[in-house]
Chains A and B, each alone.
Chain A
Amino acid sequence: MPATSAGRRTRLRATATPWLFATPAIVLFTLFLIIPIGYAIYLSFRGFRIEGGGAFGRRVQTFIGFDNYTAALTDPEYVAGLGRVLLYGVIAIPSVLGLALLFALLLDTPRVRARGFTRTAIFLPYAVPGVIASLLWGFLYLPSTSPLTYIARQLHTGPLDFFSFPALYFSLANIALWSGVGFNMIIIFTSLRSIPTSVYEAARIDGASELQIAWRIKIPLVAPALVLTGLFSVIGTLQLYSEPATLRPMTTTISSTWVPLMKIYQEAFMNDNLGGAAAASVVLAVGILVISLLLLRFFQRRTFGENA
């Protein structure tokens, strides 16, 4: 009997331990994410309607069924916003990830000089808040304050318009590139660093070039990390907000609901329509989830398939 009870205790300990470690995260996650998400979903079925009649009848929150969802899905601006964000993502994500991977691999090249300096320099913009980053790029884009336009004027080429179509998408993608490349570089670089050197020592001895090592060994090994940073970039892109929102007051080409999150913000904080905002968010979140799962599936098969 004592033997079995001790065995049970070990087994209990073995199953309980991970849960104990995860408890703080689970509790906080439940309180600050699950419950608010649940509440947001609840709100997405509610809206304000007038009670009491008259011109100054009071707005009262009531159950309105799927009205908020119909409104979100049939709102041409919301759908157009999704389109814009996808176009932006097609430009921004490959440039951010491509350059981040390039920089990470270059940093990981043996005997490269000024590694600490360049790594820090490239990461530094991450420390600049999105709002400030957009504000400062705004100054660098606007004709009267832009050094680029200044130079263009000196060269007698016309003023550069960074806010017209399609330049606007590149101007926005540039801000994302500037602030995001360092972060992604660090993630990829850290994951490169956690590969034991022994893995490529053999290749080096066999006379493989650094390029070959990078292409054949390093990239496949960091592929999972790449897929996941890519995934987070996709999520971040679909939740694009602060760059266009900060640039909006500076130009006439960005509407107040230019991307889905601006629309959501508008509904939640300007129009006092939390229900509508919640419904639009649920639509967006489901969209992101579907895209993420599809991408994950696609890349998992390719990256992990190749390795196996």
Chain B
Amino acid sequence: MQHLSEEIVMTPPTVPPLRRRSMVSAALALALTASLAACSSGDTSSPGTASAGGPVTLQVWTWNLKSGDPEAEAIIKKYHQENPNVTIKLSEVGGTADTASKLLAADQAGDAPDVVQLEYRGVPAVVVAGAVKDITADVAGVKSGIESNIWALTTFNNQVYGVPQDIGPMTFTYRKDLFDKYGVKVPTTWAEYAKAAEQIHKKDPDAYIASFSASQLEFFAAQAAQAGAQWWSNDGKAWKVGIDSEASLKTADFWEDLVKRDLVKVEPLLTPEWNAQVNDGKILSWAAAAWAPSVLYSVAPDTAGKWESAPLPQWTPGDPAVPFLGGSAYLVPAKSKHAKEAAAFAAWLGASDEGSKLQLTLDIYPGGNAGRQATLTAAPPKLMPQQKDFYQVTDQVIKNTTIPVTWGPNVNVAQTAFGDALNKAALDKASFRAVYQATQQAVVADLQKSGYTVTK
């Protein structure tokens, strides 16, 4: 809050659209208009006028508010009642990658929506593309509704680009019945995790403590963050890439060891294969986040009541800090014609007491304080109806320091380089360190090619 004036002053210069590009599209437009004029009926959506106070329709691209879903409809109806001049139109256009690529195309075409949902890892890329607005001033009034370490997920250079909606504080979800049966203690450190993995695989050679999914870049970034590394960081002027920092490589060694000793199953997540093994009791745990129980319940409803959640294992015994995994924010596209109203809606749902409490009805873990407070009195997830303290465990995790995993503008480059190489290394039992180092090089090279300064 105290940095507010500074934040407003530091708004970056907006780049005017390229002249040559607009000339090309004008030429294309001319060619098309000539022949299509006859065809284009009144079907085109009219561009709303941005007069303050007048009726406004906000186009919202989101997957957590599903059009037609009664809970989601109730939320947007409520908002409309409180803001009669604002109507919300929901559309589901895909996940983070889909939404980002559609947003960039829409931005070029000047056809952007008013609110888009993106996972945190996808935010920097659209920020540097200039496709989303700095909404620092718009959300100044609701800053206290969300903890500052959560705001950090959408804040770059002290400018806020999105309102956090849901978050994923990491937890350890495991099959309590099978852990008990095999006499395995719930691990509190990753060293204990490795021991537990050994015990489980010894008791049942077909069973594994978990699957090792190399394509889950986020998981490995979170692992490194928990160990004290930052894969991307910046001082406002230059980027620093820490994928090959020693703390990060230490986590690579850890997983390489488990894979080499065949203590984790090398296999992607959420495939029919994985789902079958979860149902079968052959995959016994998932180190993910507060949202994991609802995912597990959707693939293995019969195993409900057999699971429990515990705090995530640690690298250093007694250290309470855990990172975030997953979660998403609402952003306002730069070309939105109703940016003020859009930011207000995003702020209401994510940061206001009313909005963040309503998010509980959507079965997501809210980032807003009031919503999180409300979870404490909520019933536990369907996967573990017997674990009455589920939300207390999760909330404690956030109270103890959570580490925001920091992302950079070229996460996708890392995603491709890392996932493919790590898969290969896991299959060939090759060095994981080499994968991390190669990813580091690919990411740095790409940043430099684009023209960023990269410091050692």
Asked if A95 lies at the interface with its beta carbon under 8 angstroms from chain B, I say: no
28 A-B residue contacts at CB 8 Å? A53-B237, A54-B12, A55-B236, A55-B239, A56-B156, A56-B157, A57-B128, A59-B129, A59-B450, A60-B15, A60-B18, A61-B21, A142-B271, A142-B273, A145-B272, A249-B271, A250-B272, A251-B268, A252-B268, A252-B426, A253-B423, A255-B423, A270-B101, A270-B416, A271-B412, A271-B416, A272-B101, A272-B125
Q: Which of B124, B237, B277, B451 has the most C-beta atoms of chain A within 10 angstroms of its own C-beta?
A: B451
**Main SS at interface, chain B:** helix
B-chain residues with CB within 8 Å of residue A59 when the two chains form the complex: 128-130, 409, 450
Q: Closest 10 CB pairs between A and B?
A: A50-B451, A144-B276, A55-B234, A255-B420, A269-B101, A252-B423, A142-B273, A250-B271, A58-B130, A49-B451
Assign chain B's interface to a size class.
35 or more
**Main SS at interface, chain A:** mixed
- Given contacts A61-B18, A249-B271, could you give 16 more A-B pairs where the C-beta distance is less than 8 Å? A31-B32, A39-B24, A48-B129, A50-B451, A55-B156, A55-B157, A55-B452, A56-B128, A144-B277, A249-B215, A251-B268, A251-B271, A252-B423, A256-B415, A269-B101, A272-B125
Asked if A134 lies at the interface with its beta carbon under 8 angstroms from chain B, I say: no
Q: Which of A52, A55, A60, A269 has the most C-beta atoms of chain B within 10 angstroms of its own C-beta?
A: A55
CA distance A86 to B396 in the complex (A): 55
CA distance A271 to B129 in the complex (A): 11
Nearest residue, chain B, Cβ from A251: B268
A-chain residues with CB within 8 Å of residue B156 when the two chains form the complex: 55-56
Question: What's the nearest-Cβ distance from chain A to residue B337, in Å?
Answer: 21
B-chain residues with CB within 8 Å of residue A145 when the two chains form the complex: 272-273, 276
Contact of B97 among A39, A42, A56, A269 (CB under 8 A): A269
Asked if A174 lies at the interface with its beta carbon under 8 angstroms from chain B, I say: no
Asked if A143 lies at the interface with its beta carbon under 8 angstroms from chain B, I say: yes
CA distance A253 to B214 in the complex (A): 11
Asked if B235 lies at the interface with its beta carbon under 8 angstroms from chain A, I say: yes
Nearest residue, chain A, Cβ from B159: A56
B-chain residues with CB within 8 Å of residue A42 when the two chains form the complex: 24
Question: What's the nearest-Cβ distance from chain A to residue B159, in Å?
Answer: 8
Question: What's the nearest-Cβ distance from chain B to residue A186, in Å?
Answer: 32
Interface string of A156-167 (1 = CB under 8 A from B): 000000000000
A-chain residues with CB within 8 Å of residue B423 when the two chains form the complex: 252-253, 255
CA distance A35 to B32 in the complex (A): 10
A252 close to B267 (CB less than 8 A): yes
B12 close to A39 (CB less than 8 A): no
B-chain residues with CB within 8 Å of residue A251 when the two chains form the complex: 268, 271
CA distance A107 to B276 in the complex (A): 42
Asked if B53 lies at the interface with its beta carbon under 8 angstroms from chain A, I say: no
A-chain residues with CB within 8 Å of residue B268 when the two chains form the complex: 249-252
Asked if B13 lies at the interface with its beta carbon under 8 angstroms from chain A, I say: yes
Contact of B416 among A31, A50, A58, A257 (CB under 8 A): A257
B-chain residues with CB within 8 Å of residue A200 when the two chains form the complex: none
Asked if A123 lies at the interface with its beta carbon under 8 angstroms from chain B, I say: no
Nearest residue, chain A, Cβ from B214: A252
Asked if B8 lies at the interface with its beta carbon under 8 angstroms from chain A, I say: no
Q: Which of B62-103 contact A (CB under 8 A)?
A: 97-98, 100-101
CA distance A123 to B32 in the complex (A): 38
CA distance A259 to B31 in the complex (A): 35
A270 close to B128 (CB less than 8 A): no
A52 close to B32 (CB less than 8 A): no
Question: What's the nearest-Cβ distance from chain A to residue B70, in Å?
Answer: 29
Given A59-B450, A250-B271, A252-B266, A272 and B12 touching (CB < 8 A)?
no
Q: Which of A191-241 contact B (CB under 8 A)?
A: none
Q: Which of A31, A54, A253, A256 has the most C-beta atoms of chain B within 10 angstroms of its own C-beta?
A: A54
Interface string of B151-188 (1 = CB under 8 A from A): 00000110000000000000000000000000000000
CA distance A8 to B60 in the complex (A): 62
B-chain residues with CB within 8 Å of residue A53 when the two chains form the complex: 237, 453
A58 close to B15 (CB less than 8 A): yes
Nearest residue, chain B, Cβ from A135: B272
Nearest residue, chain A, Cβ from B422: A252
Q: Which of A139-173 contact B (CB under 8 A)?
A: 139, 142-145
Question: What's the nearest-Cβ distance from chain B to residue A125, in Å?
Answer: 20
Q: Which of A27, A59, A143 has the most C-beta atoms of chain B within 10 angstroms of its own C-beta?
A: A59
A-chain residues with CB within 8 Å of residue B280 when the two chains form the complex: 144
Asked if B127 lies at the interface with its beta carbon under 8 angstroms from chain A, I say: yes
CA distance A72 to B105 in the complex (A): 22
CA distance A58 to B127 in the complex (A): 8
Question: What's the nearest-Cβ distance from chain B to residue A78, in Å?
Answer: 12
Interface string of A50-83 (1 = CB under 8 A from B): 1111111111110000000000000000000000
Contact of A270 among B97, B214, B235, B427 (CB under 8 A): B97
Asked if A292 lies at the interface with its beta carbon under 8 angstroms from chain B, I say: no
Contact of A266 among B35, B272, B416, B451 (CB under 8 A): B416
Asked if A138 lies at the interface with its beta carbon under 8 angstroms from chain B, I say: yes
B104 close to A272 (CB less than 8 A): yes
CA distance A52 to B236 in the complex (A): 12
B18 close to A50 (CB less than 8 A): no
CA distance A49 to B446 in the complex (A): 11
Contact of B452 among A31, A57, A61, A250 (CB under 8 A): A57
Interface string of B428-444 (1 = CB under 8 A from A): 00000000000000000
B129 close to A56 (CB less than 8 A): no
CA distance A8 to B278 in the complex (A): 80
A-chain residues with CB within 8 Å of residue B427 when the two chains form the complex: 252-253
B450 close to A39 (CB less than 8 A): no
Asked if B419 lies at the interface with its beta carbon under 8 angstroms from chain A, I say: yes
Contact of A51 among B15, B100, B239 (CB under 8 A): B15
Contact of B273 among A27, A52, A144 (CB under 8 A): A144
Question: What's the nearest-Cβ distance from chain A to residue B220, in Å?
Answer: 15
Given A27-B35, A42-B24, A54-B236, A49 and B127 touching (CB < 8 A)?
no
Asked if B238 lies at the interface with its beta carbon under 8 angstroms from chain A, I say: yes
B412 close to A270 (CB less than 8 A): yes
Contact of A250 among B35, B101, B273, B426 (CB under 8 A): B273
A-chain residues with CB within 8 Å of residue B415 when the two chains form the complex: 256, 270
CA distance A144 to B277 in the complex (A): 7
Q: Which of B96-144 contact A (CB under 8 A)?
A: 97-98, 100-101, 104, 124-125, 127-130
